Amino acid sequence: MKRVLPPGSVIGVLGSGQLGRMFAIAARRMGYRVHTLSPDEDTPTGQVSDVEIRASYGDLDAVRGFASRADVVTFEFENIPTASIEACAALVPVHPRAEVLHITQHRLREKTFLVKNGFPCAPFRHVRSAAELETAAAQIGLPAVLKTAGFGYDGKGQRLLKSPQDLAPAWESIGAAEAVLEKFIDFECELSVVAARDQDGCFAPFPVCLNTHSQHILDLTVAPAPIDPRIAARAVEITRGILEALDAVGVLCVEFFLTRSGELLVNEIAPRPHNSGHYSFDACVTSQFEQQLRAVCGLPLGSTEQMRPAAMANVLGDLWAGGEPLWRRAAAFPEVKLHLYGKLEPRPGRKMGHLTALAHSVEEASERVQAARAALTDRAAES
């Protein structure tokens, strides 16, 4: 039964990264209280939450104690044991539900779900041994991508196979673990659709995004994507179908490959707010984080109208290699917004923050945000 939670209610967040941080900011702005649980302390989410609990996700007693003090529970990343979600669900509503997490945190289950429900994805095979890898490679052909079946993100647990000689080293490199071999797609671009579905089944998509990756990590997003409107409409249609098939409540992102022949293939599903939707914090009437709050609290969804074209650039720990980035230089761009996540230790490849630029076109926004990011390390300009 739908339950509308008023401001002042406690929202429990499993996970404590930047997605939880921005969710907590949106929640507190609307008068809600936020509790977060994770194995760490002084976390991005914990720094802006009302209560930060440090405990293992596998400590079900601690998880139950956390849930007992919340009015609803959600999560901000996929690598949480399903048992933890189920422990919470025995006490309070959890959105999205445990089955959604169970499907999307495991590549084989996710791809099986897609095929079973008629959604387009690249050909793939289940791989459990070196022998099965050889058979799978012969069936779908090379090049192909070997991916661990569970708990992978930002390119972790993936190996590109170009020739038969790559098979054995790749199998060893992923620890001879259960995997999926997926046909390599020579795509034109990568797209994503962030959308929300509320407890009444209402659907609200954000504009389709165009994404560029570097070293398997999202580098740049522009929105709305400068693509054929018919392709954009098809991407939204597929996303709506996925949300409905999952019976998901909350924000979800579907990542797509757009092939050179104009075909859309689902690459991955993220059952939560997504890196490619960060621009919505500054550019849309309702951000993806406020939308998540509205959905889990039983409130009507907000408008996803984008007020101006936008571009988002990730700020990784690599930018600290030459010393503290020059924040004043980025702030000198008046239509660029800086978001830092409060992470204490910068490391190469670690997402430390992002920049969002607004402009009259996505091309101008893209140029502006990349110039602002480059200025962070332009020490010659300081001399």
pLDDT at 154: 54
Using CA atoms, how far apart are residues 319 and 215, in angstroms rounded to an integer?
Answer: 15
What total of structural domains would you count in the chain? 3
Residues spanned by the domain of 159: 123-183
Q: How far apart are the first and last CA of the chain?
A: 63
Rg of the Cα atoms in the chain: 21
297 shares its domain with 342: yes
- CA 117 to chain centroid: 22
The first and second tokens of residue 70, run together, are 């919340």
225 shares its domain with 347: yes
Half-sphere exposure of 161 (CA within 13 A, CB side): 29
Count CB atoms within 10 A of the CB of residue 261.
6
Q: Please indicate, yes or no, if residue 1 is contained in any of the structural domains.
A: no
Give one DSSP letter per residue of 120-154, joined into a string. Answer: -B--EEEE-SHHHHHHHHHHH-SSEEEEESBS--T
- CA 220 to chain centroid: 14
Q: Please indicate, yes or no, if residue 275 is contained in any of the structural domains.
A: yes
64 shares its domain with 200: no
Spatial contact of 222 and 207, defined as CB atoms under 8 Å apart: no
Using CA atoms, how far apart are residues 49 and 45, in angstroms rounded to an integer?
Answer: 6
pLDDT at 104: 95
Give one DSSP letter per residue of 152-184, joined into a string. Answer: --TTTTEEEE-SGGGHHHHHHHTTT--EEEEE-
Quickly list H helices, the chain. Answer: 18-29, 60-68, 82-89, 98-104, 107-116, 130-140, 167-173, 229-246, 280-283, 288-296, 327-331, 362-375
The 3-state DSSP class for residue 74 equals: strand
Here the CATH number for the domain that contains residue 228 is: 3.30.470.20
Give pLDDT tens digits along the chain (383 positions).
Answer: 688 999 999 999 999 999 999 999 999 999 999 999 999 999 999 999 999 999 999 999 999 999 999 999 999 999 899 999 999 999 999 999 999 999 999 999 999 999 999 999 999 999 999 999 999 999 999 999 999 987 655 556 789 999 999 999 999 988 888 999 999 999 999 999 999 999 999 999 999 999 999 988 999 999 999 999 999 999 999 999 999 999 999 999 999 999 999 999 999 999 999 999 999 999 999 999 999 999 999 999 999 999 999 999 999 999 999 999 999 999 999 999 999 999 989 999 999 999 999 999 999 999 999 999 999 998 877 65
pTM (predicted TM-score): 0.95
Q: Which of 52, 47, 54 is nearest to 25 (CA)?
A: 47
Spatial contact of 233 and 313, defined as CB atoms under 8 Å apart: no
Q: Please indicate, yes or no, if residue 314 is contained in any of the structural domains.
A: yes
261 shares its domain with 358: yes
Here the CATH number for the domain that contains residue 173 is: 3.30.1490.20
160 shares its domain with 81: no
343 shares its domain with 294: yes
128 shares its domain with 254: no
pLDDT at 29: 97
